[in-house]
Structure 1
């Protein structure tokens, strides 16, 4: 808009831009202005533009207090979680205590006195209960002493933040009000000063620029006083921040020191309890339990001072029964059945059961003495003696009943050490092939006594002669005149030819015995037939 002619241009006052450089924070152009655009860090709140409503925004001091408040909250959570973990640990250690409290299986094998395994487990039970109680105490200490200190500090920080916010807001409102009044007078002064330059008419005394200037000075001075008061309040709060933060840090340090003492003491106590368990175990002498066990079971344990058992001193039932005593035993040689002729050594025994057994040796301990060969002598035929040699023809029955059905008679050639030994063997074997075998005597190699003979039995292939009237009527003198086996003289019997290998051996005939109906004695006639029977 153009000015009228003859009127000079009047320049209206304008607001300067806000200076934000770091170099002008304390001495900026705004300090020389009546209404500064910013408080340069000295006023908590900005002055709103003219005609707008004022509003508040957080400043760094409030944000810093909020940061401290959050830090304190994190410490509260940290301690609270430790308290929860301690309570949880107490429950877990109750499970361990339950295991340690269970009685030992077969506890009667251990000594109940101090210094043994029983005292070790008692120490384990006691210390496990102590650990449970210790964790419960830790949980109570954390929630009862340390956590309340942090909670109280948290409240103090919140109170400080509220105090700062309330005090700053109150002072800022007063400053804003004073600035608003000053701003109105400055604008009114500007309007009247412009009117004074453009008009010649009379000016209202209340709008005299001079008066308005002095009024503006009055209000500006009042504004500056409010600003300075507000500034002093902010400085007081700002200076107290250092002390308050120092108080916060000291409180946190005290809390953490107590926390360290509590948790460190708990760990030390727990370590000491485990150390006591270890020390109790290490103090048990290696032979403590064994000595007590031996004392409690003295009658049930083997006496180390007693001598070992001797087989020769052991006896058992029927050990010396007459059926277990051999009629004759010793070493004999038997011709091999192989193509290459030769004799093999063996240990032979004739038993009262009328068996001829062959063994590898006379050792009952090294191996099970199972017969290599067994001949049932009543089923065998004995040949004549030829020096130190004699033959026995029969069936090997050493392999059981099933195998015996497939065995055939075999003629076996034996050789004794001397002719006298062969005579002894032949006599015993010959007696066993008859109806009754002689009983064992004190001398196994000697002849047996007739009185010890077992009841008469029948030899294989022999038949019991039917009793006849003549046999029944025979006088007793005839019975005594003809003993069993004929005249008893081998040379009087008829020789029987028995083949041995490729040779024939003359063997005395064995008469078949007969038994009378009255006495059961056996009688044979000269020709081998029973008395009273036709030959």
Structure 2
């Protein structure tokens, strides 16, 4: 037996257990199962990357649509676009640059979507199929080998059990056995089946070693393909991002290249005629003329400052105002002669034909009439007598003459103590004019009248600082007072 035993095949150490066990308890699919599980993990990893790139592809598709919405915000021409230079280098050109670059972003995202879908994803899809095929190869081969090993182990185990049964009966029967139940024959049958089992186990082991050795190269291939896919992904998606950055940079450059005064200079060139010429002198009131500016009705017969006693009976003071007698026969009072600071509305307006004049007394004279200025004070005061004081007696006389002319009472006698010779007129003793009677009735002129009134021509004109009369060439007389005589 020793010689036969040396010729039997030696059992190799396997992954299924120690060499002392004829039938190991280890599942022969353990290693193959681990490898197939690893392939499954690789397949899922590639699947994750496929989903990522597929989602990115969809994002770029959505981005293209979103950038179309962005483009619509600047698709219409600029409002009031005529104010901007339509050539390159200005605001209009800048917005055109934005339109072109935004359209390029739409096209770039659409192109990126198509490239990811048509170029990058197919790389991963092919790799996915390779891993799936490898998984199928390993799992099917392992299953087939495992079944063969399981069959051989069952046969070996069965003959070992036969050997044990008949080896035990050998003692009880005294060695009398059937030839097929002879322990010697059964042992050799066990060795035969054990040898076939070991061959199957060793073949399975060699197959696994081959698969394991191939795994390193296969995984290197998988990693290489993943790197290739990511490189393509970076070139497409990353390149698109760089293109987007470059497009935005170009927009920025278009804005930064606009000279600060480019639009203003162009605007001045186009619409300069409608702009204010800084070289023109500013307008002045003195250089402006308007219709009827020099009409006779606009020129004062006399004007200047006078003092007037306040109409308030509780006040005994005087106030200075600026007074004007106009060809419209009004005596207007103003606060001053300033036409610019405030609207020069008369503080007081007396229509002279309806007024009664008092004779000058030195530098003082009076006017009694109704204020028609429609101011609040005019509504309260009604008719009142206004007492004026001029700067001199001569100036008071001049004001009186003009007032008399404006009121239509030219030639009416008045009481005065002139400081200089005045022009005398023809005497008319015993004759009293209607104007004098009107003044007497108003109480302005007392019982005394001028016996030698000064003749004032209605055609006489008066200006501030001068007085002329039509009768200046007739000589001078000094007026005297006389008692009033009854009318003949």
TM-score band, normalised by shorter chain? 0.7 to 0.9
Alignment counterpart, residue 167 of structure 1, candidates 120, 135, 141: 141
Query: 1:242 — aligned with what?
Result: 216
**Cα 1:436–1:320, aligned 2, differ >3 Å: closer, same or farther?**
farther
Q: Distance in 2 between matches of 1:145 and 1:360?
A: 95
Matches within 5 A, 1:40-439: 43-44=28-29, 59-200=33-174, 202-338=176-312, 339-399=314-374, 406-434=380-408
Q: Distance in 1 between matches of 2:224 and 2:448?
A: 131
Aligned residue for 1:59, secondary structure, equals helix
Aligned residue for 2:167, secondary structure, equals helix
Displacement of 1:385 in angstroms is 1.2
CA contact (8 A) 2:16 2:24 kept: no
**Cα 1:436–1:133, aligned 2, differ >3 Å: closer, same or farther?**
farther
**Cα 1:304–1:104, aligned 2, differ >3 Å: closer, same or farther?**
same
**Cα 1:419–1:77, aligned 2, differ >3 Å: closer, same or farther?**
same
Query: 2:415 — aligned with what?
Result: none
**Cα 1:216–1:489, aligned 2, differ >3 Å: closer, same or farther?**
closer
Q: Distance in 1 between matches of 2:158 and 2:63?
A: 72
CA contact (8 A) 2:325 2:332 kept: yes
CA contact (8 A) 2:368 2:385 kept: yes
Query: 1:35 — aligned with what?
Result: 23
Q: Distance in 2 between matches of 1:147 and 1:249?
A: 15
CA contact (8 A) 1:382 1:507 kept: no
Displacement of 1:89 in angstroms is 0.3
Deviates more, 1:221-230 or 1:256-265: 256-265
Q: Point out which structure has higher relative CO (alpha carbons under 8 A, 6+ apart).
A: 2
Displacement of 1:87 in angstroms is 0.4
Q: Distance in 2 between matches of 1:387 and 1:203?
A: 186
Q: Distance in 1 between matches of 2:209 and 2:62?
A: 50
CA contact (8 A) 2:61 2:110 kept: yes
Choose between structure 1 and 2: higher helix proportion: 2
Query: 1:514 — aligned with what?
Result: none
Q: Unpaired runs of 5+ in structure 2? A: 1-12, 412-425, 451-483
Q: Distance in 2 between matches of 1:324 and 1:279?
A: 66
Aligned residue for 1:186, secondary structure, equals helix
**Cα 1:294–1:372, aligned 2, differ >3 Å: closer, same or farther?**
same
| CA deviation profile, 1:137-192 (whole Å, cap 9, x unmatched) | 11112111111111111111111111111100111111111112212221222222
Query: 1:512 — aligned with what?
Result: none
| CA deviation profile, 1:440-484 (whole Å, cap 9, x unmatched) | xxxxxxxxxxxxxxxxxxxxxxxxxxxxxxxxxxxxxxxxx999x
Q: Distance in 2 between matches of 1:408 and 1:361?
A: 24
Aligned residue for 2:276, secondary structure, equals coil
| CA deviation profile, 1:340-387 (whole Å, cap 9, x unmatched) | 423221110011111111111111111111111111112221111111
Displacement of 1:197 in angstroms is 1.4
Displacement of 1:434 in angstroms is 3.1
| CA deviation profile, 1:368-421 (whole Å, cap 9, x unmatched) | 111111111122211111111111111222126x97565322111101111111
**Cα 1:267–1:201, aligned 2, differ >3 Å: closer, same or farther?**
closer
| CA deviation profile, 1:304-328 (whole Å, cap 9, x unmatched) | 2222223222211111112111111
How does the TM-score come out when normalised to structure 2?
Answer: 0.80
Matches within 5 A, 1:436-515: 496=440
Q: Distance in 2 between matches of 1:301 and 1:363?
A: 32
Q: Distance in 2 between matches of 1:527 and 1:313?
A: 59
Q: Distance in 1 between matches of 2:334 and 2:377?
A: 19
CA contact (8 A) 2:14 2:202 kept: no
**Cα 1:235–1:303, aligned 2, differ >3 Å: closer, same or farther?**
same
Displacement of 1:133 in angstroms is 0.8
**Cα 1:389–1:311, aligned 2, differ >3 Å: closer, same or farther?**
same
Q: Distance in 2 between matches of 1:497 and 1:212?
A: 179
Q: Distance in 2 between matches of 1:496 and 1:188?
A: 177
Give the total of aligned pairs: 426
CA contact (8 A) 2:33 2:139 kept: no
| CA deviation profile, 1:87-124 (whole Å, cap 9, x unmatched) | 00000001111222211111111111221111111111
CA contact (8 A) 1:387 1:419 kept: yes
Displacement of 1:435 in angstroms is 7.1
Cα RMSD after superposing both structures: 3.1
CA contact (8 A) 1:384 1:506 kept: no
